[in-house]
């Protein structure tokens, strides 16, 4: 093969690659593809007896939203409610509660005390997030080692529609939300001052980890 032809082929291949890469950039810019992440830090560790931690990631690719949660140091052998929480009105950004948010001073941050800083329970991470049903028995269950791993892929459009129906005027807006993990064993003794929601036992809703969701730089 003559050197001249080789060079032309190389130029053609490089040209094609540049055009391909350029096209990919345009496609990315036009969509909302991206990844959001929350680093989960322990809450109420004195009550759980261990430092719960973990990570939640939200990966958007076209209409596919993949929700992943890994947790460790959580009470073992039981189901753990997990959601993102946020403000149902306005455009405020939620934050995770601290000891100062324990307004009744009972040493425990309960669900009601999370609301002024984190808002309300929004999207559940169980077998059917699009249902938006908070009460459900398909939340992940921690193994004997106090860890679990959850993964679910849903239609982003379907979740957005269900979300807008339940929270009129709101969008998913991941970067304004916080992820909570909940739950200590039902036998855990809690002061009567620990509040819960609806008719759910305070042990079930007790927050055990929290992390603010942030967009991951590309
Ligand atoms: Cu929650």
Question: What pLDDT was estimated at residue 99?
Answer: 94
Domain that holds residue 73: 33-215
The total domain count for the chain is 2
Do residue 73 and residue 132 come from a single domain?
A: yes
The CA 8 to ligand 1 mean position distance, Å, reads 60
Do residue 1 and residue 76 come from a single domain?
A: no
Which pLDDT tens digit goes with each residue over 7-45?
Answer: 545 445 444 444 444 444 433 333 478 999 999 999 999
The CA 3 to ligand 1 mean position distance, Å, reads 66
The CA 5 to ligand 1 mean position distance, Å, reads 64
CB 84, CB 122: distance < 8 Å: yes
Do residue 11 and residue 98 come from a single domain?
A: no
Angstrom distance (rounded) from CA 18 to CA 31:
20
Do residue 25 and residue 99 come from a single domain?
A: no
CB 217, CB 38: distance < 8 Å: no
**Would you give the DSSP letter of residue 157?**
H
Which pLDDT tens digit goes with each residue over 75-125?
Answer: 999 999 999 999 999 999 999 999 999 999 999 999 999 999 999 999 999
Q: Please choose, from the candidates 169, 150, 172, 170, the residue with its C-alpha nearest in 3D space to the C-alpha of residue 159.
A: 172
Do residue 11 and residue 50 come from a single domain?
A: no
Do residue 117 and residue 14 come from a single domain?
A: no
CATH value at residue 144? 2.60.40.200
Residue 129's φ and ψ, nearest 5 degrees, are: -55, -35
Question: What pLDDT was estimated at residue 32?
Answer: 76
Do residue 10 and residue 89 come from a single domain?
A: no
SS3 state of residue 84: strand
Do residue 65 and residue 131 come from a single domain?
A: yes
Do residue 87 and residue 180 come from a single domain?
A: yes
Average pLDDT value over all residues in the chain: 89
Do residue 19 and residue 65 come from a single domain?
A: no
Do residue 108 and residue 136 come from a single domain?
A: yes
Within a 13 Å sphere around the CA of 28, how many CA atoms are in the beta-carbon half?
9
The CA 99 to ligand 1 mean position distance, Å, reads 18
Do residue 37 and residue 20 come from a single domain?
A: no
């Amino acid at each position: 093969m003559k050197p001249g032809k080789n060079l032309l082929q190389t130029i053609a291949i490089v040209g094609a690659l540049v055009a391909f890469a350029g096209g990919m950039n345009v496609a990315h810019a036009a969509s909302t593809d991206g990844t959001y992440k929350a680093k989960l830090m322990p809450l109420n560790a004195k009550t759980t007896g261990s430092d719960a931690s973990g990570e939640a990631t939200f990966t958007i690719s076209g209409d596919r939203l993949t929700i992943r949660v890994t947790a460790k140091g959580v009470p073992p052998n039981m189901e753990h409610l997990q959601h993102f929480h946020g403000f149902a009105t306005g455009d405020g950004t939620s934050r995770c509660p601290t000891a100062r948010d324990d307004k009744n001073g009972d040493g425990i941050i309960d669900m009601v005390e999370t609301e002024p800083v984190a808002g309300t329970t929004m999207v559940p991470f169980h077998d059917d997030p699009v249902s938006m049903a908070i009460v459900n028995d398909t939340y992940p269950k921690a193994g004997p080692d106090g860890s679990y791993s959850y993964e679910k892929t849903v239609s982003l459009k379907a979740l957005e529609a269900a979300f807008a129906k339940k929270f009129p005027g709101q969008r998913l807006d991941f970067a304004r939300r916080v992820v909570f993990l909940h739950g200590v064993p039902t036998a855990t003794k809690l002061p009567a001052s620990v509040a819960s929601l609806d008719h759910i036992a305070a042990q079930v809703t007790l927050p055990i980890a929290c992390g603010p969701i942030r967009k991951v730089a590309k």
